[in-house]
Structures are given as structure tokens and as C-alpha cells.
């Protein structure tokens, strides 16, 4: 039987820690429990800890920085509002990714971002100072093509390839986030790479 | 080996998915073949490009935006729109309609109906009560009249529904709109958009309505197109069926 949220609220959480542990040194689950006990600043630490990685995944998934920012922001709001029902199992990052993916999916379905994908950030050079202009242009054009190809992938292939290569999650973690078998993740990942190769050809 | 199969083998190699023997064989081939090494470089380039993101993302701070959203009033006092309905209209007459009785809190969310719509098997709503003290728990058999109501939905079919309405019909036959909210009779809001998800997706607002004591039936109406509040109200008044919908019904007793 599931533990009622009200019962979980009664967990004893040391607000300051026996040794006065800094919030930044706390685990994700400890911060969630502290936030649930009323320490909003613990949740702030969680946001700062995970916001950049959440934005990276969202921006690759959605292809727009502004949409990614909204999705990531809504993700943290949703997580905060669901604090009473969060179960501390040492899997916060997977939970965060699942909420984020849901936000991204809703954004895509709600605003047809897919069609506009990639037009924004792929133009922004990340290697502006490292390469001479022609090489820079080629690099940017190649990345833009890759991002367009990602945007054309089916949702299942895209979320797999983005979690693995943008989010940096292992195959096993990706399977856990998507709640599918490891074999499914592998087949989706390999299929996604096949599609990218077919679409991009010898572009690189 | 054709180029496509070769490319996949290289991806598997990079992912550590080859057996030791397969990897050793491939490494020997890589030593001997410049084009194969180029192809491996291409795999790595793709992976690098997929991993690349705008460099200034690290400068974005979401904290202020999150705080601003959280500062918005959490409780919404949606006025009740009274429409006496003779009988529960959404029902058996609909050819594709599935009505699912409320099941105990730990019950599987799956709808066990016979609708030919695959997504119907994996769609449903969950209801939560939020006390004045802010405690939240899944509603069992009963809910306090003064408790707020919050909802979540699951929508895990292969072709998930795209829209949802949640409303309640109280013991007097009055209709209470939860999602979408209906505040202005001059407007005609549509179903809310929903995502496909095997996990419960929480709808963010806690709603407080004046609900009389007695039985409250909460309907989660899943569709592949938006319905309007007035469409549904008209059907309810006419005791007519809503077609091509999946209706998940939760039944509670409202107590003082």
C-alpha cells in the first residue's frame, strides 16, 4: 500500500544537520526532504544544482532556448508542488528528467515547436574564438543540420538520443528514466543514429 | 558489410555493446582501414554534436521565474455553475464510451472497458484532497466538504488522448467545472491539452468548490479533439451521450 502523503510529511528531518552540513553538500533526496519540511532554500539549491543540465536536455529536445527555459522552469514548479508526494529513493534525477520530458512533450504538442526547431541556438557559435571564420561556419552549419535531423526524429527516438548524448545518462539510466527495458533503449538509440546517418550522409 | 550495418556496429562499439571478440575483431579492422577509422570519427562527431548546446545556458538562472510562479495564488476559487441535470447523462449510450467505477486507492489505473480505443485502456484520473492544513492525500471513499481538490491524469496509450475535461456532478445534480475552469458564462472554454504519459501528470491547481454533502461523481473525459464546456453542458441537460470519448468516473462521499 502506498504511503499517504500526509504520513510522509511527518518524517523527521534534521533542519540543520548534526554537523551543520551545508545545504550544497546535501544529497538531492535530503534537499527534497528539507524542502518538504519547509526549507524553501533547500529547493533553491536543488534548482541551481540541476538547472543547467535540465536546460541542455530541454533545448536539444525542443530546439529553442526560450521554450526550453519555460519547460525547465515549469518542471521545477511542478516538482515543488508535488513535494508532499515525492518518495525519497535516491532517484531524484530520474524523477526530474521524467517531469522535464513531460513538459517538453506538452510544449511540442501545445505550440508546434518541432516545426521551428533548431533555428535559434544552432546559429549561436560555441567555438567563436577557437576557429577561423570558414571553419566556424562549417561547424555551425553541421551542428544545425544535426539538430534539424534530431528534430525530425520520432519522439521516442529523440528522447532516447537526447537523454543519452545530451543529458549524458548511461544506457541503464536512460532506460530507468524512460521506464523501458534496456534492450528497448539500445534499439531506439541505434535506430536514431541510423536515421541521423541516413539524413546527414557525408555531411561531416 | 554494408555501410549502414558497419555504421551501426561502430555505434555499438562506442557504446560498449559489442562482445569482447567482436570488439577485438573490429579494432583489428580499424587498424587496417582508414575509411573505417573515418567512419568511427563520424560516429563520434555525431555524438559530440548531439551533446553540444549553447554555451550561455549556464548563465540562465531559473530561480526567480520558479519563485514567481510559486508565488501565484495556489488556491483558485472557481465559482460553481449550477445546472441541474436530471440524470447522469454520460453513460452507456455512447458507442465508444467507457465508464469506470471508482476503484480503491491502490488499484491499477487502467480502464477495463471494452472500448475499441487502445488509449482508453491506459487513461484515467486520480483525485487528491488538500486539507486546510495543506496536507495532501489521494482521496479514498470520502472527502471533506472544505477540502481542496487536486487532480492528476495518466494517458499512456500508444496513441494517447490529446485533451481532457474534469468536472464533478454533486448530489443535487449540479455541475462543478474543475478543468477547464469556467468563471465567465459568456466564455466557452475548451478541454485542456494533455501529454501522453504512463506516469501520473499532476494538474497544478488546487480547487475549492462549495460541494454539498452526499455523493460526488468526478468525470475525467479524455478525447482526441477539444470539447467545449457548453457542448458538454448541453449534452448533460439533454441526457445525451458524448460520443468518441473515454470517461473515467470517480465516486466519493462528501462529508462535513
pLDDT at B68: 87
Map residue A74 onto helix, strand or coil.
helix
Residues of B within 8 A of A60 (CB-CB) are 50, 53
pLDDT band at A174 (very low <50, low <70, confident <90, very high): very high
Q: What is the DSSP letter of A24?
A: G
Q: Is the Cβ pair A73, B69 closer than 8 Å?
A: yes
Q: What are phi and psi of B222, to 5 degrees?
A: -95, 135
Per-residue pLDDT, averaged over A93-100, amounts to 95
How many angstroms separate the CA atoms of B78 and B84, rounded? 18
Q: Is the Cβ pair A197, B194 closer than 8 Å?
A: no
Report yes or no: B127 and B151 within 8 Å, Cβ to Cβ: yes
How many angstroms separate the CA atoms of B202 and B84, rounded? 29
Half-sphere exposure of A31 (CA within 13 A, CB side): 23
Q: Regarding predicted confidence, which is higher, B179 or A183?
A: A183
Q: Regarding predicted confidence, which is higher, B140 or B51?
A: B51
Closest A-chain CA to B67 = A77
Closest B-chain CA to A142 = B49
Residues of B within 8 A of A139 (CB-CB) are none
Cell triple for residue A198?
541516413
Asked if the model's pLDDT at residue B98 lies above 60, the reply is no
Report yes or no: B96 and B223 within 8 Å, Cβ to Cβ: no
Q: Which residues is B166 bridged to in the sheet?
A: B179, B220
pLDDT band at A142 (very low <50, low <70, confident <90, very high): confident
Is the ipTM reported for this complex over the cut 0.85? no
Residues of A within 8 A of B72 (CB-CB) are none
Interface test with A, best of B11, B47, B57 (most A CBs within 10 A): B57
Q: Which of B17, B50, B63 is nearest residue A44 as measured by Cβ atoms?
A: B63
Q: Which of A133-137, B8-12, B170-174, B177-181 has the lowest mean pLDDT?
A: A133-137
Q: Is the Cβ pair A52, B58 closer than 8 Å?
A: yes
Q: Is the Cβ pair A197, B49 closer than 8 Å?
A: no
> Taking phi first (over 0 means left), then psi (-120 to 50 degrees means alpha), and beta for anything else, what does residue A183 get?
alpha
Burial, B208: exposed, middle or buried (Cβ in 10 Å; 0-12, 13-18, 19+)?
A: middle
Asked if the model's pLDDT at residue A86 lies above 70, the reply is yes
Per-residue pLDDT, averaged over B1-22, amounts to 89
Query: What average pLDDT does chain B have?
Result: 75
pLDDT band at B39 (very low <50, low <70, confident <90, very high): very high
Q: What are phi and psi of B219, to 5 degrees?
A: -105, 130
Report yes or no: B203 and B141 within 8 Å, Cβ to Cβ: no
Distance from CA of A52 to the nearest CA of B (A): 5
Query: What average pLDDT does chain A have?
Result: 79
Q: Is the Cβ pair B53, A55 closer than 8 Å?
A: yes
Amino acid at each position: 500500500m502506498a504511503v499517504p502523503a500526509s504520513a510522509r510529511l511527518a518524517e523527521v528531518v534534521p533542519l540543520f544537520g548534526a554537523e551543520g552540513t551545508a545545504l550544497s553538500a546535501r544529497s538531492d533526496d535530503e534537499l527534497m526532504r528539507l524542502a518538504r519540511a519547509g526549507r524553501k532554500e533547500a529547493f533553491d539549491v536543488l534548482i541551481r544544482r540541476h538547472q543547467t543540465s535540465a536546460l541542455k536536455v530541454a533545448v536539444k529536445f525542443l530546439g529553442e532556448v526560450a521554450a526550453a527555459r519555460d519547460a525547465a522552469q515549469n518542471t521545477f514548479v511542478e516538482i515543488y508542488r508535488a513535494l508532499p508526494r515525492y518518495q525519497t529513493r535516491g532517484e531524484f534525477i530520474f524523477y526530474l528528467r521524467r517531469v522535464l520530458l513531460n513538459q517538453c512533450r506538452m510544449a511540442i504538442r501545445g505550440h508546434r515547436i518541432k516545426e521551428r526547431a533548431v533555428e535559434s541556438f544552432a546559429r549561436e557559435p560555441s567555438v567563436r574564438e577557437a576557429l577561423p571564420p570558414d571553419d566556424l561556419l562549417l561547424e555551425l552549419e553541421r551542428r544545425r543540420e544535426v539538430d534539424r535531423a534530431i528534430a525530425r526524429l520520432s519522439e521516442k527516438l529523440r528522447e532516447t538520443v537526447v537523454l543519452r548524448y545530451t543529458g549524458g545518462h548511461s544506457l541503464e539510466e536512460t532506460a530507468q528514466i524512460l521506464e523501458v527495458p534496456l534492450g528497448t533503449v539500445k534499439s531506439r538509440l541505434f535506430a536514431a543514429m541510423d536515421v541521423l546517418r541516413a539524413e546527414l550522409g557525408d555531411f561531416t | 558489410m554494408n555501410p549502414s550495418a558497419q555504421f551501426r556496429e561502430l555505434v555499438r562499439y562506442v557504446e560498449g555493446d559489442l562482445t569482447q571478440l567482436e570488439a577485438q575483431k573490429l579494432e583489428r579492422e580499424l587498424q587496417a582501414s582508414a575509411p573505417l577509422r573515418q567512419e568511427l570519427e563520424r560516429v563520434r562527431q555525431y555524438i559530440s554534436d548531439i551533446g553540444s548546446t549553447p554555451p550561455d545556458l549556464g548563465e540562465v538562472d531559473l530561480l526567480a521565474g520558479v519563485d514567481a510562479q510559486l508565488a501565484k495564488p495556489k488556491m483558485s476559487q472557481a465559482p460553481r455553475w449550477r445546472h441541474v441535470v436530471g440524470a447522469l447523462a454520460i453513460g452507456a449510450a455512447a458507442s465508444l464510451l467507457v465508464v469506470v467505477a471508482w476503484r480503491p486507492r491502490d488499484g491499477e489505473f487502467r480502464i477495463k472497458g471494452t472500448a475499441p480505443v487502445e488509449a482508453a485502456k491506459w487513461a484515467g484520473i486520480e483525485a487528491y484532497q488538500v486539507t486546510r492544513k495543506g496536507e495532501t492525500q489521494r482521496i479514498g471513499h470520502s472527502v471533506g466538504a472544505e477540502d481542496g481538490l487536486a487532480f492528476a491524469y495518466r494517458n499512456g496509450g500508444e496513441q494517447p488522448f490529446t485533451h481532457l475535461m474534469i468536472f464533478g456532478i454533486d448530489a443535487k445534480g449540479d455541475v462543478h467545472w474543475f478543468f477547464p475552469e469556467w468563471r465567465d458564462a459568456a466564455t466557452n472554454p475548451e478541454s485542456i491539452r494533455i501529454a501522453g504519459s504512463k506516469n501520473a501528470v499532476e494538474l497544478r491547481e488546487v480547487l475549492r468548490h462549495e460541494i454539498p454533502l452526499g455523493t460526488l461523481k468526478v468525470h475525467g473525459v479524455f478525447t482526441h479533439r477539444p470539447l467545449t464546456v457548453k457542448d458538454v453542458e448541453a449534452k448533460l441537460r439533454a441526457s445525451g451521450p458524448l460520443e468518441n470519448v473515454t470517461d473515467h468516473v470517480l465516486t466519493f462521499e462528501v462529508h462535513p
